C-alpha cells in the first residue's frame, strides 16, 4: 500500500460543498457543529467495534424473539 488513499470525485465534491457550508457558519455554530460531529464519530467507532466483536465471535449476537 504505497499509494496514499485518494477521495473519489463524488467525495471531493461533497467535501467542497461541506467546506462552503462551514464557511457560512458563525463561530458558535461551528463550535456546536464540531462537538456534534465528534459525538457522531465516536458513536460510529463504537458501533464498528461492536459489529466486529460480533463478527469475530468475541461478543454474542443479540437474540431476537
pTM of whole model > 0.85? no
Contacts of 50 (CB under 8 A, 6+ apart): 59
For residue 30, the model assigns a pLDDT of 94
Maximum pairwise Cα distance, the chain: 49
Per residue of the chain (65 residues), give pLDDT as tens. 567 889 999 999 999 999 999 999 999 999 999 999 999 999 999 999 999 998 898 877 667 76
Amino acid at each position: 500500500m504505497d499509494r496514499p488513499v485518494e477521495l473519489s470525485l463524488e467525495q471531493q465534491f461533497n467535501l467542497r460543498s461541506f467546506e462552503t457550508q462551514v464557511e457560512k457558519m458563525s463561530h458558535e455554530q461551528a463550535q456546536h457543529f464540531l462537538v456534534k460531529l465528534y459525538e457522531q464519530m465516536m458513536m460510529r467507532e463504537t458501533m464498528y467495534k461492536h459489529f466486529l466483536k460480533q463478527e469475530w465471535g468475541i461478543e454474542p449476537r443479540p437474540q431476537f424473539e
